[in-house]
Copies of this chain bind each other. A is one copy, B any other.
């Protein structure tokens, strides 16, 4: 599908100090837009970034029929710009679409759209390693109606935000608190889809963890509240007895692209990986017996985020002495090395657009 381009005539000033970008606070000059109506996606286009005129009865504002993705554009040393596994993100967006009754779209056009957006905003991609142009594809239900039924019209858009590390403290280990009252997701629910409601529902537990002095929530499964699912909005890994363990996808855990990349890279490094159901009590026992070697969370925004402390009820456990572990460190270097085009890309994950 041909992508129409209307470039801005009033480019905004770019941030001068990349160390102060923060995450998702400022926006680049352009956005990608693509409409769905009368049964078809049409008019993919690049336009200047700007506010949208919406009806107060717009369906997504009431019933949350929405799905999104998180991606990044990475500045290469040679001045070029990489995307990372963009097809996988848009394939996942199409899977989220199925759960949320949003029409599927041709992945090729979405990849072309995000590539054209990055080309138009290539000067907005930061040059500092660890910083990137965060990209947010979003699909919203745009019918003007108050009935609780599938929208017949949608807007697919992508915006870009030059961003530093997701956590202000960079790679400093985070602390996580086991949430045993609030639930993020349950089988049969929407946990495996990247959709607004999962995040809205998580905010209260996040605030509770912050008040208790922790950075993030460790989520348990919604049925038994005994199995580990995710951390904050990231997937979670543990090194136990030299095996890298992560919760098995079960329908309520998001299938992370960084999770998948981490599993593959660990295997490349000769590390044994197990995807399995992990009981919280098993994890605590491993920690108490000194078998839990390290832990880290993975996600596009957070990349590889070491976990230094685990809180459960009135107990606190220091993981790896509260320091970043060796596997997390190697994983961060390897993954970001590939993403920024500094080392070989053995799996063909990099998609260079500039």
Q: For the complex, is A354 an interface residue (Cβ under 8 Å from B)?
A: no
Q: Which residues of B contact A232 (CB under 8 A)?
A: 148
- Among A113-121, A169-177, A191-199, A272-280, which stretch is in contact with chain B? A191-199
Q: For the complex, is A262 an interface residue (Cβ under 8 Å from B)?
A: no
Report if A189-B182 is in contact (Cβ < 8 Å); known contacts: A57-B24, A222-B223. yes
User: Judging by beta carbons under 8 Å apart, are B203 and A100 in contact?
Assistant: yes
Complex CA gap A65/B204 in Å reads 11
Complex CA gap A233/B148 in Å reads 8
- A residues 53-103 with Cβ under 8 Å of B? 53-57, 60-66, 68, 99-101
Counting every copy of the chain, the complex holds 2
User: Judging by beta carbons under 8 Å apart, are B53 and A136 in contact?
Assistant: no
Q: For the complex, is A212 an interface residue (Cβ under 8 Å from B)?
A: no
Q: Which residues of B contact A233 (CB under 8 A)?
A: 148
- Among A139-147, A238-246, A304-312, A323-331, which stretch is in contact with chain B? A139-147
Q: Which residues of B contact A201 (CB under 8 A)?
A: 100, 189-190, 195, 197
Q: Which residue of B lies closest to A198 (CB)?
A: B197
Give the interface centre of A68, A147, A189 by most chain B CB atoms within 10 Å.
A189
User: Judging by beta carbons under 8 Å apart, are A54 and B54 in contact?
Assistant: yes
Q: Closest CB of chain B to A220's CB: distance in Å?
A: 9
Complex CA gap A223/B183 in Å reads 11
Report if A159-B197 is in contact (Cβ < 8 Å); known contacts: A204-B101, A206-B149. no
* Residue contacts A-B, CB under 8 angstroms, 24 given: A23-B147, A24-B145, A24-B147, A27-B57, A51-B56, A52-B53, A53-B53, A56-B138, A61-B66, A61-B140, A64-B196, A65-B203, A99-B204, A100-B201, A149-B203, A150-B203, A184-B189, A186-B222, A189-B189, A190-B200, A195-B200, A197-B198, A197-B200, A222-B222
Residues of A within 8 A of B (CB): 23-25, 27, 31, 49, 51-57, 60-66, 68, 99-101, 134, 136, 138, 140, 145-150, 157, 159, 161, 163, 181-190, 195-204, 206-207, 222-223, 225, 232-233
